[in-house]
Amino acid sequence: MNRIDARFGQLRKAGRAAFIPFFTAGDPGLGASLRLLKEAERAGADLVELGFPYSDPVADGPTIQDSYHRVLEKGLRIGQVFDMVREARETCSLPVVAMISYSLVYRMGMAAFMDRCVEAGIDGATVPDLPVEEASSFFTMANERDFRLVCFVTPATKAERRAMAIKHAAGFIYYISVRGITGERSALPPDLVENIAELKDLTDVPVAVGFGISEPAQARAVAQAADGVIVGSAIVKRMSQAASDGRDPVGAALEFIKLIAGATRDLP
């Protein structure tokens, strides 16, 4: 069974939501990413979303854009990311989901990309700039490889398009909580819980929520309504700050992961 499906199945039996931290592959170095993959589970992560740096990200705000820029300036190659994940798999059992631009997938070829993911130990992918209407061949190839192509739904998604995403959804549905790009926000939308409930009424596929979640109280509120909580910019920002201050960026990330993971488990 795909590790994503297995983990969500375990969590449903336990009656709790998944905590899914995001970090950028290669920021501030591949050694840091390797350590994060090896130690994130012990800190409280249930899955990991791993960002593949790209020069023109579609949905990412300044914090993650800056992390991509830092990595690309160092000359990171995609093959190095696959090698890093493969090495991490010696001890890491966490499901890993690649967040990657379709431009990178297209350049490699869909089949080649998924084959390299599976060989390295990556279990699925989120591809923000691949419209679900144009992804039929990707879904077919993914199913043949027990690989999960995660679909997006947003507050602005029309009913017809949402139904198409639900039809193809595998692993989990990524519900984007806000209209806009990634980044920390002081408050989540007032209709978020209602929107999650409406989506969950339409599918048995787990629903994980991302964009804007940056503090324990927000993570706790989302965990009460959704099947998963995704936190990215807040982690990347803390790693960058720690590196600038001469502190251990991985240690800063793990400390924050523990804080957020605790909030997602501390439910009434």
Q: What local confidence, expressed as pLDDT, does residue 16 receive?
A: 94
Alpha helices for 89-184 (secondary structure H): 102-108, 110-120, 136-144, 159-168
Fold for the domain defined by 3-262: TIM Barrel (3.20.20)
Whether the pLDDT of residue 99 is over 90: the answer is yes
Q: What local confidence, expressed as pLDDT, does residue 183 receive?
A: 42
Query: What residue ranges do the domains of the chain occupy?
Result: 3-262
| pTM greater than the 0.85 cutoff | yes
pLDDT confidence tier of residue 15, bands split at 50, 70 and 90: very high
Closest by CA to 24, choosing from 216, 233, 241, is 233
Report how far residue 137's alpha carbon sits from residue 234's, in angstroms, rounded to the nearest whole number: 34
pLDDT confidence tier of residue 177, bands split at 50, 70 and 90: confident
Tell me the average pLDDT across 88-116: 96
Average model confidence (pLDDT) for the chain? Answer: 92
For 63-74, how does the pLDDT look when each residue is reduced to its tens digit (9 = 90+)? 899 999 999 999
Structure tokens at 92: 């890491």
pLDDT confidence tier of residue 245, bands split at 50, 70 and 90: very high
Residues in a beta bridge with 107: none
Report how far residue 246's alpha carbon sits from residue 258's, in angstroms, rounded to the nearest whole number: 21
For 185-233, how does the pLDDT look when each residue is reduced to its tens digit (9 = 90+)? 456 778 899 999 999 999 999 999 998 898 999 999 999 999 999 999 9
Q: What local confidence, expressed as pLDDT, does residue 41 receive?
A: 96
Judged by average pLDDT, the poorest of 37-41, 98-102, 114-118, 184-188 is: 184-188
Closest by CA to 11, choosing from 226, 175, 212, 168, is 226
Q: Are 52 and 12 in contact (CB under 8 A)?
A: no
Share of the chain above pLDDT 90, in %: 85
**Catalytic residue numbers?**
49, 60
Q: Are 51 and 68 in contact (CB under 8 A)?
A: yes
